[in-house]
Amino acid sequence: MSEVFTLSRQVEFNHCDPAGIVFYPRYFEMISAVQERFFADALGASWADMTPAGFGTPMGEINVRFAAPSRLGDRLDFTLEIARLGGASAELAITCHSAGELRFTCRATIVHVSLAETKSARWPEALRGKMTAYLQDQRKKTA
């Protein structure tokens, strides 16, 4: 069974529109924060270390399906798994719930990039090895 990275955060005033509902672009900031925490906390490869070393993980593609609104004060629970791991890319499967209710699902493709060359670069083997623990279980892919 694969591991799942989880992160919780509360919806704050700065996330909301005047009606007290999360303004949808803020979800993209939250998705980026989940990705950043995943690399730092689960993989031991913080962006603060990667960037000076000349590497990054920019977004190549993102698709979000919104299911229900989130409001000021809600506690959001995010999960992240890796749906696909390529030579220099990874497709992340991120879900967000609040009190058991689905708020959104996300599929995001990130690319491991050499910042000096501004082109894709293979995942370092040590990092790739850690990432494989978060690959979605094959049974989930066929379900």
Please report which helix (H) or strand (E) contains residue 138, including its range. Answer: helix 138-142
Half-sphere exposure (Cβ direction) of 33: Cα atoms closer than 13 Å: 13
Q: Residue 127: what pLDDT?
A: 96
Q: Residue 143: what pLDDT?
A: 44
Task: Tell me the domains of the chain and their CATH numbers.
Answer: 5-135 (3.10.129.10)
Three-state DSSP state, 64: strand
In the predicted model, residues of the chain with pLDDT beneath 70 are 138-143
Q: Residue 138: what pLDDT?
A: 53
Q: pTM of the entire structure? A: 0.91
